Chains A and B, each alone.
Chain A
Amino acid sequence: MDFNYTDEERKFRFELRDWLASALPAGWGDTVFEPEDEEERYLFRRDWDKKLSSGGWSGINWPVEYGGRGATLVERGIFAEEMARAKAPESLNIIGHNLAGTTILHHGTQAQKDRFLPPIIANDEIWCQGFSEPNAGSDLASVRTKAVRHGDKYIVNGQKIWTSYAQYSQWCFALVRTDVDAPKHKGLSFLLIDMKSPGILIRPLRQISGESEFNETFFEDVEVPVENLVGEENDGWRIAMTTLAYERGPEDCLGRQVRFKQEMEKLLEVCSAEPTANGVLSDDPIVRQKLGRSIVEIEAMRLVALKSFSRIHAGDERGPDASVIKLYWSHAAQRMNEAALDILGPTAVLAEGDEDAKASGRFQTSYLQSKAFSIYSGSSEIQRNIIGERMLGLPR
């Protein structure tokens, strides 16, 4: 066990730190923030993603041949820390990088890799995920969206739901049923679908926070060339498991931890400035207990991810420990968001747009958003089943 950094790694850190300082607008995080309007924020993040890729900081862990840096796990950890330190904006193309890209890297043909990976790393093409359906939530393998092969095309009909960023995406990877007679896990295929295809209808869904990041996506006789099938026909469940291992894995956790750490820092800032009858909020012993526990959990999130990285680095297969990570960060983050509101007292109910709201109401927005954490990417109940059965070996 060794957390020391080599000279090379330190060099990497300072190179990134310098680049971030020059790439972010002056006063970023202090006086300059992301646009509040959703559409403007989308454009802002799109620009930021472009900046990242032109600076060579996009998809750093990907192989050099596809435009990455082949970054080591240590460098990924440093990357996450420096992004947190700089309060860097969130990437819009997380699904492209983390899910579509890694799945194609694992299971794609050479032609698919050549076609799809460069635009992901360049952030020219944004991706969304077509897994969940109205009747296939926790029971994902019961998807009904059908793909029927006609010559060199699949004809896709059906509906996906909770499709985050569908409105901004050029591509969608989808789990579709190609054999209705086979057992449910055996009749699925993994398709890459051009979102410009005729027959796709996107209807925004309004979330608990009032935002509309996710959507319903309808497919009516949508044509998909057979070369956009990943892996074999009817082998889609196995491919999707790779996608899920990354969706729930340490890369995802580390990236999110960056955001949660920023939130924690903001909360500490508010607590050390907000007056009370005998000092400031951060002097209050009850507040300190809540802060202390959340500080520990946000840090544990980073450590749990790094530990998993180390195991993968040492040659372990990705397995149910991805579910451990997902289950941990989602509830730890929710606890922090609960604690934040609890600590804020009467201003807990003042949200974005109110002149008396703390930190421009970000804790209130995060609190509402955090309710999704324990549901998407497989609900906590599903993760607990996976951990119980596949990791602990408990009977089904």
Chain B
Amino acid sequence: MNFLFNEEQTSLGETVGQVLADFAALTAPDPSRDSEAEVWGALAELGLFSLLVPEEHDGVGLAFVDLAPSIEALGSGLASPLIASTLVATEAIKRLGSSDQRAKLLPEIAIGETAIAIASAELGRGKDPFFAECRLLDGKLSGKKIAVAGADVAQELLVIARTESAPVLVLVPTDAAGVTITAHSDIDPSAGLCRVVFDNVAVAAGQQLARASIDALDTLVDLGATVHSGMAMGIAEVMLRRSVAFASQREQFGKPIGSFQAIKHRCADLAVAVEAGKATSHYAFWACSENSEDRSGAASAAKAYCGEIGCNACNDAIQVHGGMGFTWELGLHRYLRRAQVIEHAVGSRAWHYDRVVTEALAAREVENAAHRDAA
């Protein structure tokens, strides 16, 4: 057992961070999507999208956990959530796709030609990412999804829908007849959140991912939750770094404000939260990678906890920066906005804490049964 990333995993993350740092618009005070296509191209050139693709499909064949530092870098760099959703979809297709689907999609993904937006959230059922009113009946998909990041520039949509009897994951090209995509007016205009309406969209049997099963949904939610926990920690880390840097140089009462315990202790608490959040997130990446028994519990723990830490870190950073903290021009608002997008993607904190309890009670049952058998 070893709970540290190896050099390859770490340097991959650093490289992703460096590539993103070349695009100042990503973290500039004015939220924009101006550099989105260029960033995508640079990351594709780096080979980011080929990393999770198995070698047989022209990829590098890395494990999910190998990307954890890179995902954090995507969070820190405020990269488009479509990048992360494409990586989640890659792993989902790898695990749940038929051999035809894998052979067709994975090589395209590897070279950065196919971006995949994940359509899960709907109106009318609060926080539950499993819930879908979108119906797939007689090969036709109808319904409405909201907050689909990057749907307007993606090539494919991975949609959580349901047949009459079961949940189902379907892949729908964004240019299919009956698909209408409109941009939301939203809290983070750089995230590219869209409303997607399906009006009797024809879906062939080959577009369904895996057998219709709750396990497939669990897999998608666990992967998505884990990746979002990583991005939240990327944000939290930037907030810590910037708070410490500001508190070290900003002077009041003739001293750097970081020498005052009111500020110093806030920063220390933030550092502790970053350490604890990263530990849960990193473990979730490993649990997803290995399909360990506690995968869902670990993923939900990470999403709930890191989402909370990411949002709180932004609050702390703004407070430490004082009057500057809530100006537009300093740009801290960009992280605050993105932290909220992350918090509410793939199920909010409340839903994931609830799922942690479900998983813990189920694990207790298993343990008790084993205890009874032994007795």
Report which A residues bind B (CB closer than 8 A).
1-5, 9, 73-74, 77, 265, 268-269, 272, 282, 285, 288-289, 291-293, 295-297, 299-300, 303-304, 306-307, 309-311, 313-314, 321, 324, 327-328, 332, 381, 383-385, 387-389, 391-396
Contacts and interface: CB of A to CB of B under 8 A. Distances in A.
B264 A389 contact: yes
A293 B353 contact: yes
Contact of B286 (A2, A265, A309, A385): A2
A3 B256 contact: no
B232 to A, nearest CB: 14
B198 interface: no
B315 to A, nearest CB: 18
Contacts, number: 156
Given A4-B1, A394-B267, 7 more contacts: A291-B360, A296-B304, A304-B275, A306-B3, A307-B275, A327-B268, A387-B268
A295 B1 contact: no
B272 interface: yes
Contact of B259 (A297, A300, A311, A395): A395
Interface in B208-250: 240, 244, 247-248
B65 A1 contact: yes
B207 interface: no
B361 interface: yes
Given A272-B361, A381-B265, A384-B261, A292 B3 contact: no
Contact of B3 (A3, A269, A328, A394): A3
A395 B256 contact: yes
A309 B364 contact: no
B269 interface: yes
A351 B115 CA distance: 59
A288 B1 contact: no
Interface string B275-292: 111011011011100101
B4 interface: yes
Interface residues of B, number: 51
Nearest to A313: B2
Main SS class of interface, B: helix
A70 to B, nearest CB: 17
Contact of B9 (A1, A74, A307, A328): A1
A47 B74 CA distance: 55
B326 interface: no
Contacts of B305: 293, 296-297, 300
Counting chain A CB atoms within 10 Å of each CB, the highest count among B265, B292, B305, B364 belongs to: B265
Contact of B264 (A4, A328, A394): A394
A289 B127 CA distance: 14
**Which of A5, A73, A289, A311 has most chain B Cβ within 10 Å?**
A289
Interface of B: 1-6, 9, 65, 68, 240, 244, 247-248, 255-256, 258-259, 261, 263-265, 267-269, 271-272, 275-277, 279-280, 282-283, 285-287, 290, 292, 301, 304-305, 350, 352-357, 360-361, 364
Contact of B267 (A2, A3, A307, A388): A388
Contact of B353 (A289, A304, A327): A289
Contacts of B267: 388, 392, 394
B248 A3 contact: no
A1 B65 CA distance: 8
A392 B268 contact: yes
Contacts of A272: 361, 364
Select the residue from B3, B275, B279 with max chain A CB neighbours within 10 A: B3
Nearest to B298: A299
B356 A1 contact: no
Nearest to A30: B371
Contacts of B285: 1
B68 to A, nearest CB: 8
Contacts of B356: 292, 295-296
Contacts of A389: 264
B264 A385 contact: yes
A303 B353 contact: no
A303 B279 contact: yes
Instruction: Please give me the 3 A-B residue pairs with the lowest Cβ-Cβ distance, nearest first.
Output: A292-B353, A303-B279, A388-B264
A307 B285 CA distance: 14
B290 to A, nearest CB: 7
Contacts of A309: 3
A311 B4 contact: yes
Interface centre among A1, A2, A3 (most CB of B within 10 A): A1
A299 B354 contact: no
A291 B6 CA distance: 34
Contacts of A307: 3-4, 275, 279, 282
Contacts of B357: 282, 288, 291-292, 295
Nearest to B1: A74
Contact of B360 (A3, A268, A311, A388): A268
A268 B290 CA distance: 27
Contact of B276 (A74, A295, A328): A328
9 contacts: A2-B2, A73-B1, A288-B353, A296-B304, A300-B276, A304-B276, A309-B3, A321-B275, A328-B272
A125 B9 CA distance: 47
Contact of A265 (B272, B282, B350, B364): B364
Given A1-B282, A300-B305, A387-B271, A395 B276 contact: no
B275 A295 contact: no
A303 B247 CA distance: 30
A292 B354 CA distance: 6
Contacts of A383: 268
Contacts of A4: 1, 290
Nearest to A78: B1
Contacts of A300: 276-277, 279-280, 301, 305
A296 B301 contact: yes
Contacts of A391: 268, 271
B244 A394 contact: yes
B136 to A, nearest CB: 31
